[in-house]
Amino acid sequence: MRAIYTIALTTLRELIREKLFIVIFFLAIGLLFISVALSNLSIWEFQRILADLSLSSMEFTALGIALFSGSYMIYKEIEKQTCLLLLSKPISRRQFILGKFCGLSLLLLLTLLALTVLMNIILLEPEYILNSFMIMLNIYLKVLVILALVFLLSVYIRPVISLLFGFSFYLYSHGINSVEFLIKKTNDDNLIAIHKVLETISPQFFRFNWKNYYFLKDAPDMNSFVIMTSYFILWIVFLMIFAVRGFNKRDIV
């Protein structure tokens, strides 16, 4: 446990010092402020647009960080052989990869927390505060599923491919409904069958898509909150088990 913690903190420190994230971070903040400037509208419209914009920009900032850093993280460790030093120490490969995962998860959490706090400051609506953090958690867990997926993929394939795959997977998992609708229209049995398989093996993001203004006013009840949380955590655990297994067997040449 201690090794995972040490690696996670060092990873976080590395990531924060890499300028890229500072840039993305300010970009997101900038977006928020632009949206404020744009919203020269009635208070209701203003809140609605601002909330929608900031919740989406939160999700895309986090998704961007997860996709880019996640798919390159393990690859870079292997390619540049930085992991050799760590793996020569009395730590297991499992601890190594989990430490890396936790470090990046911490960065994502900090980013999302900061953006949520900022959003609340701009909205100035005490009723929304609790709900906004629930939505943040929803976004966070979704992004962690994608992060775990690209971690798993990057053990086996090139980072660009795992990045693209991760992104398509995210889109697909959000749009299963619409994909289903389109595919049913084609009346192609093969396509329908493929879709059925894909649907059952994909995380059902669209069922838990809380990223919109409606949820700020009316939070999902406790029940669906618990279901959402456990559902995504199970996915993360499931994907990481395979990532660890893959990494355990990989030659670091």
Partner 1 sequence: MSAIENAIEVKNLNKSFRKSVFEKSKHILKNVSFDIPKNKTTGFVGNNGSGKTTSIKCIFEFIFKDSGDVKFFNQEMGPAVRRRIGYLPERPYLYEFLTAEEFLKFHLSLSGIHLQGAALNALIDETLHKVGLLEAKKKALRSFSKGMLQRAGLAQALIHKPEILILDEPMSGLDPDGRLMVKDILREEKKKGITIFFSSHLLQDMEELCDHLVAIHGGEIIYNSDLKSFMSQFPSLEEAFRSKQKEVQK
Q: Which residues of 141-158 are buried (b: 16+ CB within 10 A; e: fewer)?
A: bbbbbbbbbbbbbbbeee
Of 8 and 152, which has the nearer Cβ to partner 1? 8
Of 189 and 251, which has the nearer Cβ to partner 1? 251
Residue 3 CB contacts under 8 Å (≥ 6 apart), including other chains = 91, 95, 99
Work out the angle at residue 42's Cα, subtended by the Cα atoms of residues 41 and 46, and round it to the nearest 5 degrees: 65
Count the residues of the shown chain that bind partner 1, applying the rule CB under 8 A: 25
State the nearest-atom distance from the C-beta of 68 to partner 1, in Å: 17
Q: How far apart, in whole angstroms, are the C-alpha atoms of residue 253 and residue 247?
A: 13
In three-state secondary structure terms, 210 is coil
Contact 145, 66 (CB under 8 A): no
Of 85 and 222, which has the nearer Cβ to partner 1? 85
Of 85 and 201, which has the nearer Cβ to partner 1? 85
Say whether residue 178 binds partner 1 (CB under 8 A): no
State the nearest-atom distance from the C-beta of 104 to partner 1, in Å: 14
Q: Which of 37, 43, 85, 197 binds partner 1 (CB under 8 A)?
A: 85
How many residues does this entry show for the chain? 253
Q: Which of 1, 8, 13, 72 binds partner 1 (CB under 8 A)?
A: 13
Q: Which of 121, 190, 200, 249 binds partner 1 (CB under 8 A)?
A: 249
Torsion 107-110-111-113 (CA) sign: positive
**Which spans of this chain sit near partner 1 (rule: CB under 8 A)?**
2-3, 6-7, 10, 13-14, 17-18, 80-82, 84-92, 249, 251-253
